[in-house]
Homo-oligomer: A and B are copies of this chain.
Amino acid sequence: MKRTLIGDLKNHTGEEVSISGFVDVRRDHGKLIFFDIRDRSGKVQAVVLPNRAEAQEKAKELRAEWTVSFKAKVNERPEKMVNKEEENGAIEIEVLEIDVLSRAVELPFEKDQEVNIDTYLDNLPLTLRSEKSRAIFKVQAEIVRSFREFLTKENFTEFQAPKLIGEDAEGGANSFALKYFKSTAHLAQSPQLYKQIMVGVFERVFSVGNVYRAEKHSTTRHLNEYTSLDIEMGFIKDHKDVMELETKLLKFISGSLKEKCSKEFRLLGAEVPDVPEEIPSMKLREAQDLIKKETGKDKTSEPDLEPEDERWLCEWAKKDKGSDFIFITHFPTSKRPFYTYEDKEDPGYTKGGDLLFRGVEITTLAQRIHDYNELVAALKKKELDSDKFSFYLQAFKYGMPPHGGFGMGLERLTQKFLNLSNVKEATLFPRDINRIDNLLSDPGR
């Protein structure tokens, strides 16, 4: 008999069906045996009546996480037994025959129990099965799906960026090196240089992939491997075109989440943010003036925002502008990468900035330098060796339009959408300085 998904059972009342799934929990009530069964589409309670001797025999053995297939009859519940809160609260499943597909050992703790983060991470093959984790990663999958859908509609072409790179182009200690045959390679910290090259090919491109930061931290904010959502677009007027596109993109993602993940957001007690038609925007110096005026704290000569400033500005945007989002633009060129475009009308400051959301930065965006000679000069100014960038520089030698783009960390975005306290909860298999799945307890091997 063809399998019926649990989410479809309500369309099969009165029928005999075949159901497959994981046993969530079993309860014995005298001669009645109840168990909850879940599959990818939902969960339902099944009952084995005393007159089904063989099925009862098997049902008595069932434990959490066993997988089973069974034949059952789908009955409507008597009106007074209907539970409108439950997804399948209007039906009851009467088990006829059970087939055990696989058994499980006794669980170290209940699947949906809250455990500390180390226990959670040590047991991911189990803890990821919890309702909460499943909801988080359903939301994450929908963020990526809708990100791609929007960009494809907007004529962006997806490309596969390499992660093995030769020189670590942007320098710095945060790069993982590896032996690559007779040479040394590095793991890419972003697809930045490649997405710019690709603007010369397709004008508008995006990429989704892992990037690497060799940061020696293990905090609620750090990951050594994460998924970067990257876009780059050509023939822009300036960074405002990028901000406008990002606003539309976030509106689209937020709309998709409302449509497809309301159940998950409800379960996690989170709310999908509304994205305004125009996200409030101010320059760094204006933001610092505002902070000074409102809080008395003088940060007007700082070259960057501190975490408390980001939080304050988000609270201000929410209260004063009704927005969960705020753009802060025009950071000093000295604090931004070599390829960032300087605002000729505001020398020393960049045409670009950060997007803040619920207290933290979720995107860095900018217009980029497109003129070959300016780019070579910018490398020199940062004391970078332009020979090491010769491959990348070809794109500019052979003509590049004005362009810009942004990158977002998928895990952080998921975390903030869902108000999770630790980015690792929004990362399937997080890597940090102490852990690659297992704790790294064996230094020096």
Residues of A near any B CB (own CB < 8 A) = 3, 5, 20-22, 39-41, 65-67, 69, 101-105, 107, 123-126, 128-129, 133-134, 137-138, 140-141, 144-145, 148, 152, 155, 157-166, 176-185, 187, 194, 197-198, 200-204, 208-210, 212, 214, 216, 224-225, 227, 234-235, 370-372, 390-392, 394-395, 397-402, 410, 428-429, 431, 433, 436-438, 440, 442-445
Contacts and interface: CB of A to CB of B under 8 A. Distances in A.
16 contacts: A20-B401, A22-B401, A67-B235, A101-B235, A105-B372, A107-B398, A124-B394, A125-B200, A134-B202, A138-B157, A144-B158, A162-B428, A165-B437, A177-B179, A178-B187, A183-B443
A414 to B, nearest CB: 10
Given A181-B433, A183-B445, A429-B162, A22 B101 contact: no
Contacts of A103: 399
Contact of A181 (B21, B102, B180, B440): B440
Contacts of A66: 399
Contact of A102 (B128, B159, B400): B400
Contact of A194 (B20, B194, B429): B429
A102 B371 contact: yes
B200 A129 contact: yes
Nearest to A67: B401
Given A210-B209, A216-B181, A431 B125 contact: no
A244 to B, nearest CB: 13
